[in-house]
Amino acid sequence: LAGCSANDGGDGGTSAEGLKGTGSGDSCVIEGTVPVGAALSLTGGAASYGESQQKGLELALADLNAKDGVKYDLKVEDDGSDPRQAISVFETFVGNGTSLIIGPTLSNTAFQAQPVAQEAGVPVLAISNTATGITAQGDFIFRDSLTEAQVIPQTIQAASEKLGLKKVVVMYSNDDAFTESGFEVMESALKDQGIEVLDTLKFSVKDTDFRSLLTAAKEKNPDAIVVSALIEAAIPLVTQARELGINEPIIGGNGFNNPALMKDAGQAAEDVIVGAAWNSASDSPENTAFMKAFEEKYGAGPDQFAAQAYTGMLIVDHAVRANCSGERTDVQQSLTEVKDLATPLGSISINKDRDAEHPAVVQIVKDGKFTVLN
Ligand code: 1QQ
């Protein structure tokens, strides 16, 4: 590890150790750059989420580094949508003195990679993981993403009030930690709200042909289909449902919060209902500025994953400045104290379980866009 402890900021080889500054908040000044590592799915099945996250992080990085006092060195590494690759990225970040790790993109990956950081005492901020139990892995694990449990019950309630759901078919992939967790939340929310489950149909995260399952679903004559799936399954599932004449609403979990759904499923995506952690229609000053800056930099609007990533960097900066330190234990400690921070996701706090609390929104796809369901 020779050379890894220099905090000169000149060679990109800075380390969290010794990164203590003076002042606090806006007046905090830290010599040397604060190294932040991000493990994102830039390739593999979750790449459409990861690419969006990278854009959100890099936009925030530019904004933060334009401010005085604290500079960040962000290294984005590809987790390949694969737990083993993520473990190796985490090991690299742990070994090279990174102050905090952002990511990985999928809960399924996070459950396996996070213990590497937890055991080494490196704080992790998840920006898209929604499965139950992510932050329960240890006191160094935080997230800014709302969980399925925070979003699905109100999504099903809103859909039910709007559409009068009495009976549904549930479909989910049973070999991914996020989709399984989402399924459990859906099952209990449906039960709580007295909605009958006519059938529960399982598939694999790698499946792309849902015609026989959808035919079985259609025969049950449901008022809606409730689906826990990642985007690579969601697109063909929704497309094939409409081809088979299933015109009822399809209610999805967080995996559906992806513009690729409308781009690739086209007309079939209409009337998909999905709860989200980000309201693109919010006219708060933070969201308005974020959306404008994103559009200017990338020539297209952000999605929820970009907004959560951007917010993640804002939270990191807030935490670093609060203790005016890039040392791992200082960052960990300040993350426990994030309260009512104004962000594009709304006013965000980190609760005692290290999970985020902020408003959610229920959306429906209309004319190829997520619009608020009310
Ligand atoms: C998870 C998710 C995915 C949809 C994130 C991209 O919510 O894996 O937890």
Per-position pLDDT tens, the chain of length 374: 333 444 443 445 579 988 999 999 999 999 999 999 999 999 999 999 999 999 999 999 999 999 999 999 999 999 999 999 999 999 999 999 999 999 999 999 999 999 999 999 999 999 999 999 999 999 999 999 999 999 999 999 999 999 999 999 999 999 999 999 999 999 999 999 999 999 999 999 999 999 999 999 999 999 999 999 999 999 999 999 999 999 999 999 999 999 999 999 999 999 999 999 999 999 999 999 999 999 999 999 999 999 999 999 999 999 999 999 999 999 999 999 999 999 999 999 999 999 999 999 999 999 999 999 96
Task: Determine phi and psi for 30, rounding to 5 degrees.
Answer: -120, 130
**308 CB under 6 A from ligand 1?**
no
Ligand 1 and 106: CB distance under 6 A: yes
- Residue 118 Cα to ligand 1 middle (Å): 20
The alpha carbon of 337 and the centre of ligand 1 are apart by a number of angstroms equal to: 25
Best residue among 129, 148, 227, 231 to mutate for probing ligand 1, ranked by most atoms within 8 Å of CB: 129
Instruction: Give the residue whose CA is nearest to atom 9 of ligand 1.
Output: 129
Residue 133: the pLDDT is 98
- Residue among 105, 111, 256 to mutate when testing ligand 1 (max atoms within 8 A of CB): 105
Domains for the chain: give ranges and CATH numbers: 25-146+283-357 (3.40.50.2300), 148-276 (3.40.50.2300)
Ligand 1 atom at minimum distance from 129 CA: 9
Q: What is the pLDDT of residues 328-344, one digit of tens each?
A: 999 999 999 999 999 99
Q: Which two tokens stand for residue 172?
A: 């989910």
Among 148, 178, 257, which is best to mutate for testing ligand 1, by the most ligand atoms less than 8 A from CB?
178
What ipTM was assigned to the predicted interfaces of this complex?
A: 0.98
111 lines ligand 1 (CB under 6 A): no
Q: What pLDDT does residue 1 have?
A: 37
Pick from 175, 254, 256 the residue to mutate for probing ligand 1's pocket: most ligand atoms within 8 Å of its CB: 254
Query: What pLDDT is recorded for position 374?
Result: 67
- How far does residue 199's CA lie from ligand 1's centre (Å)? 24
Tell me if 181 CB under 6 Å of ligand 1: no
User: Cα of 206 to ligand 1 centre, how many Å?
Assistant: 15
255 lines ligand 1 (CB under 6 A): yes
Is the CB of residue 178 below 6 angstroms from any atom belonging to ligand 1?
A: yes
Instruction: Say how many Å lie between the CA of residue 257 and the centre of ligand 1.
Output: 9
From 344, 357, 334, 282, select the one nearest 60 (Cα to Cα). 344
Ligand 1 atom with minimal separation from the 50 CA = 6
Query: What residue's CA is closest to ligand 1, atom 2?
Result: 129
Q: Which two tokens stand for residue 349?
A: 């706090």
